[in-house]
Structure 1
Amino acid sequence: MPINETLSQYSDWSYTTAAAIYVLALVFFLIEQSFGAKGRAAAERAKQKVLVGAGGPAVTETPGVITTPPQTGRAERIGRMGAALLVLGALLHLTAIVLRGLATHRAPWGNMYEYGMATMFVAVVTWLVVIKKFPVRHLSGFMLLPVVILMFVNGTMLYTIAAPVQPALQSYWLVIHVSAAILSSGAFLVPGVASVLYLFKTANDKNPAKFPKFGPKLPDADVLDRIAYRTTIICFPIFTFGVLCGAVWAEAAWGRFWGWDPKETVAFIAWVIYAAYLHSRATAGWRGTRAAVINVIGFSATVFNLFFVNLVTAGLHSYAGVG
């Protein structure tokens, strides 16, 4: 069927608008992070801990009473506006994906541009779920920063006009295998960012003078650790399913389950790293900083596989590249 150029154009406009809204939301979230009540309260708690350690009076809290500051300041209102913008951007992002699929009459992830677009959408939706479950909305700027950067790279360097996919991709495995890869790769951005922030937080707890303005405004390290672990433990089975489906598709397309293709190899390395993270997280001696470092390495391998392997190396997956 011919490509619907009108729907393709609307998809491009929706993608560009969503990226612009994400940038605006990023600014709002950074304002909340810098001047919001949660950041000030976290800094005050850190200051009180220093005073107590120096012999100052201990701060007592009433059992069963949650002493969270009221979220009524101007920065908190700006943060809520940022969350509303994030939802609006996600809706436009989804519109761009759906219109791309309608324009091409296929699953809208047949090339690097479409794959990156879908992956970033999953990352944003995953973060929306996280801020619904955990009081970490003021950290959304740190999550949106890599999303905005990757969307800019995706929409400029990796942009591909709407077109039918090559015969090798005209298979139902495109929906099954690639969608699993998109879900896991996009969602892995959240634990990656959470683990990076965890490392900053623990470093600041050990030496408050190391990040005096940034570290105290982060939530407790335990919160960041739980976000990273719970997200990873959900994503890992999906990632495993995607790797297995890729092997089955490879056998059907190329006559072998495994051929040490660069993309296959790096995906397997990332799988091993995430398996090591989950194992280390379940082992008392490797919890905390060591586990967070492993998780950051796993996320780095995922990003490396997503961009560098597709753009620089040559392999059997090159037909799904940038153009």
Structure 2
Amino acid sequence: MGLPEILPMLVIGLYFLGTAFYVLGSALRNERIKVMALSIAGTGFALHAVDLAGQLVGAAGLDSLTSGRFLFSLFGFGVLVSFGLLWWRLKMRFLIVVALPLALVFYATANATSGIKASLPPMLSGLFFLLHIGTLFCSMALLAMAFGAGLAFLHLEKRIKTKTGLKKFQQDMPSLDTFDKVNHWVIVLGFPLYTVGLASGFVWAWLASKRVFSFDPKEILALVMLGLYAYLFHQRLAYGWRGRKPAVMAIAVFLLMVLSMFGINFLVSTTFHGFKA
């Protein structure tokens, strides 16, 4: 068995071990175990990058990059890149407990969907891939971090308000204000990217078929997400929204994104955005 065959198993195993050891280190409040977990996860991330690079090198044209394996693998990689950005900017190492399991799920999904492919019409395919797929994936990877920060915010807020007290491992968690800053940065960076990605898709549709909107289920849900995203962006920047409301809305938008990726792409046969064997 060569490296291309064992590489996915190594990445999945390292991501799983990294998650397990970080949770264990947090429960025991043992910094050495958590550092070891991050080292394991970092090794998995490096091998994940090697796997993606191999797929890019071996791609026979842009059409080869629309397989389920490449797209889901790319999204899982993007989630960890987004985590790294927030770790660097806000010292939010705690979000690894969200980023690593999500990366594991999407990478495992990638390897389970290697035989399916998203249809990519030939006209303007390069522009479509770079602007549409690239910007949407960056935005959604950032949104995954807002989802994790939102869940943590709601959990901590509930324990504080009910005076339940924090469990041992929760005492090392960042403050509510830090989780709220994650939400702010994600919205500021993610909403413009999502808007560009969605707009480029509609422009491409008009150039390809002279029709901007076709009432495709994926398009309808994308517009709903855009409306919620825009409202959240406006409320945060114009009215200084903070705390519980933006956390709940970020969670809702992320769950709609997951519904779009898994529900519509795999289960709705009438969409032309879906995956086909």
Amino acid at match of 2:75: T
Identity %, equivalent residues: 20
Matched, 1:31 2:15: no
Alignment partners' CA distance in 1, 2:268 and 2:110: 18
Residue of structure 1 equivalent to 2:121: 168
Q: Deviations over 1:262-297 (max 9, x none)?
A: 111111111111112222324658521111111110
**1:17-166 equivalences in 2 (<5 Å):** 17-36=10-29, 75-107=30-62, 109-156=65-112, 158-160=113-115
Q: How far is 1:214 from its partner?
A: 6.2
Q: Deviations over 1:101-122 (max 9, x none)?
A: 2222234631333211101100
For structure 2, which runs of at least 5 residues remain unmatched after alignment? none
Alignment partners' CA distance in 2, 1:139 and 1:183: 17
Question: TM-score w.r.t. structure 2 length?
Answer: 0.88
Preserved contact between residue 159 and residue 322 of structure 1 (Cα < 8 Å)? no
Q: Deviations over 1:124-148 (max 9, x none)?
A: 1111222223333244223322332
**1:191 counterpart (118, 135, 146):** 146
Q: How far is 1:315 from its partner?
A: 3.5
Higher share in helix: 2
Preserved contact between residue 204 and residue 212 of structure 1 (Cα < 8 Å)? no
Amino acid at match of 1:26: T
Q: Deviations over 1:167-224 (max 9, x none)?
A: 6156212233211222222222111111111111111110132764565443210001
- 1:257 partner SS: coil
Preserved contact between residue 194 and residue 227 of structure 1 (Cα < 8 Å)? yes
Pick the structure with greater CA Rg. Answer: 1
Amino acid at match of 1:109: L
Q: Deviations over 1:44-71 (max 9, x none)?
A: xxxxxxxxxxxxxxxxxxxxxxxxxxxx
Preserved contact between residue 143 and residue 250 of structure 2 (Cα < 8 Å)? no
Preserved contact between residue 180 and residue 242 of structure 2 (Cα < 8 Å)? no
Residue of structure 1 equivalent to 2:275: 321
Alignment partners' CA distance in 2, 1:215 and 1:167: 46
Amino acid at match of 1:31: L
Preserved contact between residue 113 and residue 159 of structure 1 (Cα < 8 Å)? yes
Residue of structure 2 equivalent to 1:230: 185
Alignment partners' CA distance in 2, 1:120 and 1:87: 14
Aligned length: 274
**1:304 counterpart (238, 259, 266):** 259
Question: TM-score w.r.t. structure 1 length?
Answer: 0.76
Amino acid at match of 1:19: I
Preserved contact between residue 29 and residue 138 of structure 1 (Cα < 8 Å)? no
For structure 1, which runs of at least 5 residues remain unmatched after alignment? 1-5, 37-74
Alignment partners' CA distance in 1, 2:87 and 2:201: 32
Are the structure 2 counterparts of residues 205 and 81 from structure 1 closer, same or farther at C-alpha, using a change threshold of 3 Å?
Answer: same
Amino acid at match of 1:18: V
Amino acid at match of 2:151: V
Worse-superposed segment, 279-288 or 290-299: 279-288
**2:199 counterpart (244, 260, 276):** 244
